[in-house]
């Protein structure tokens, strides 16, 4: 396998980088193993990772407790191979990165806007997590298969 510095960088973008892109980052990182370098960022970062996002991924054995809401500007000088936006707002403001080969938009509801009791809000986080898990796990496994054939 490639050294960590030479792995293709996949950047997952959202507006606030507090929920969807954070969950997608840890899910894709697990699915892709050491084939990809996976990061997430926001066009207008919230400055925190939503506690219900942390809890939702911990329920499937992933750790987001050390997650940090990052600004996409941190990656402007990086060789980003693939950009994946998970909200429409980020898709509209997404810059083109040097060397960028692929760009995808896979939109998901924003669980941070869920209303009701904490239990009702958490149910929305779980639904969105499961949707993200299906899409990003499949993508990650596909990239692993692609790397194995190369």
Name the residues annotated as catalytic. 14, 87, 94
Q: Nearest CA to 142 among 5, 13, 6, 10?
A: 10
**Range list of H helices, 71-117:** 88-93
Which helix (H) or strand (E) covers residue 94, if one does? none
Residue 35 main-chain phi, psi, to 5 deg: -80, -35
């Amino acid at each position: 396998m490639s050294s960590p510095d030479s792995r293709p960088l996949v950047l997952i973008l959202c507006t606030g980088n507090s929920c969807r892109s954070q969950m997608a980052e840890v899910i894709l990182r697990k699915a892709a193993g050491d084939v990809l370098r996976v990061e997430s960022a926001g066009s207008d970062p919230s400055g925190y990772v939503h506690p219900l996002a942390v809890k939702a991924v911990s329920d499937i054995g992933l750790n987001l407790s050390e997650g940090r809401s990052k600004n996409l500007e941190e990656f402007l000088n990086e060789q980003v191979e693939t950009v994946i936006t998970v909200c429409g707002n980020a898709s509209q403001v997404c810059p083109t990165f040097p060397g960028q080969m692929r760009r995808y938009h896979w939109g998901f509801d924003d669980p941070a806007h869920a209303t009701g009791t904490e239990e009702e809000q958490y149910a929305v986080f779980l639904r969105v997590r499961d949707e993200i898990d299906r899409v990003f796990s499949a993508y990650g496994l596909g990239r692993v298969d692609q790397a194995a054939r190369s």
